[in-house]
Amino acid sequence: MTDHLRQFLGRAGFAFFTALIGAIFALPLVWFLFAPFNSRAELGLAIPEPFSLSNFRQVLENSFAIRALGNSLIQSVGGTLLVALAATLASYALSRSPLPGKRAVTYVLLLFSSVVSGSAAMVPIFLMITRAGIIDTHLSVILVFAGGLLPTAMFILRDFIDGIPRSYEESAMVAGASPVQAFFDVALPVIRPGVVVVVVWAFVNIWGSFLIPFILLRSAEKMPASVAIYSFYSEAGTPIVTLLAAYALLYSLPVVLLYLFVSWKFGFRFFGGIKA
């Protein structure tokens, strides 16, 4: 009997402990959902009383912050499309072609990319972008992000494509398809789940980045939301919690929507190869 009791107490203790950890992690999220609808929100957790949209009304009046959401969209979508397109083509070539030293190329790129997107290379990047005459443009942000994210994206995708049998494209070519047709008809649909992973990953990365747009952009009308969120701080540097909460919720929506869309449309599923 004591054995049973000990087992029960052990399990109960474990359940309590995990519930506690879960609660600790859930609290900020609950705040994140409640605070925007509370016109007197503070850093403490409180149930909105009354439930109000006044925070959002005020945020919407801040045209700089709202335009920034549009800028974030331009930069993230632009960067993501560039990364996805270039990474798919590059990793397909790296996986399928008999280029000597192609593994080394990917690894060296991967190594440098952590430097490029990191803050260590900020000064040279700034100088390059200035010389190129595209400072303070969306293009500069898109290009720098694409450069920084591409190697990792290529690395992920090349691994994915390596795992797909060549016989798919080979059978398409024997059936009469040109290499380009074989790529679009057969290879790309099979690779698509990997591309989707890269798209989500790149989008989230660019959407949440602060440093690069902060350094490369000057004019207020081009700043993305990650920078504009600082307009909800007072002159003294203290956050205006009510507005910050409402804006943060708006800011996170596109990413949530992207996840929901991808999960609905593709389900993060993989088509495996078919083998008897």
Partner 1 sequence: MASVKFENVTKRFGGFTATEGLDFEVGDGEFVCLLGPSGCGKTTTLRMMAGLETPSEGKVWIGERDVTRVHPKDRGISMVFQDYALYPHMALADNIAYPLKVRGQPRPERHAEAQRVADVLQIGHLLDRMPAQISGGQQQRTSLARALVTPSDVYLFDEPLSNLDAKLRLDARGFLNHLQRDMGITAVYVTHDQAEAMALATRIAVMDRGRIVQYAPPLEIYRRPATTFVANFVGNPPMNLIEAEARIEGGQLHLQAPGLHLAPLPVPAALATRAPGRLTLGVRPEHLALAAPGAANRIEGRLFANENMGPETLVTVTRTEGEARLTARIFTDEAPRLSGAVAFGFEARHLHLFDAEGLRVPGDGE
Residues that bind partner 1 (CB under 8 A): 165, 167-168, 170-178, 181, 185-186, 189-190, 271-276
* Least separation in angstroms between CB 99 and partner 1: 14
The C-alpha atoms of residue 158 and residue 155 are separated, in whole angstroms, by 5
* Least separation in angstroms between CB 259 and partner 1: 23
Q: Which is nearer to partner 1, 173 or 255 (CB)?
A: 173
Alpha helices in the chain (DSSP H): 2-34, 54-61, 63-96, 102-116, 122-131, 138-162, 167-174, 179-182, 188-208, 211-216, 225-228, 241-265
Q: Which is nearer to partner 1, 133 or 176 (CB)?
A: 176
Sole residue written with tokens 């952590």: 114
Q: Which is nearer to partner 1, 130 or 178 (CB)?
A: 178
Q: Which is nearer to partner 1, 157 or 186 (CB)?
A: 186
Q: Which is nearer to partner 1, 51 or 271 (CB)?
A: 271
The C-alpha atoms of residue 133 and residue 21 are separated, in whole angstroms, by 51
The three-state secondary structure class of 47 is: coil
Q: Which is nearer to partner 1, 104 or 236 (CB)?
A: 104
- Selection from 110, 121, 149, 126 nearest residue 213 by Cα: 126
Tokens standing for 130?
């200035």
* Least separation in angstroms between CB 239 and partner 1: 48
DSSP structural state of residue 186: I
* Least separation in angstroms between CB 180 and partner 1: 11
* Least separation in angstroms between CB 248 and partner 1: 39
Q: Which is nearer to partner 1, 67 or 192 (CB)?
A: 192
The C-alpha atoms of residue 258 and residue 77 are separated, in whole angstroms, by 11
Mention every residue, 6+ apart, whose C-beta is less than 8 A from residue 246.
Answer: 35, 36, 55, 56, 58, 59
* Least separation in angstroms between CB 98 and partner 1: 10
* Least separation in angstroms between CB 275 and partner 1: 6
Mention every residue, 6+ apart, whose C-beta is less than 8 A from residue 76.
Answer: 203, 206, 207, 224, 254
- Cα dist. 55→22, 50, 246 in Å? 29, 12, 6
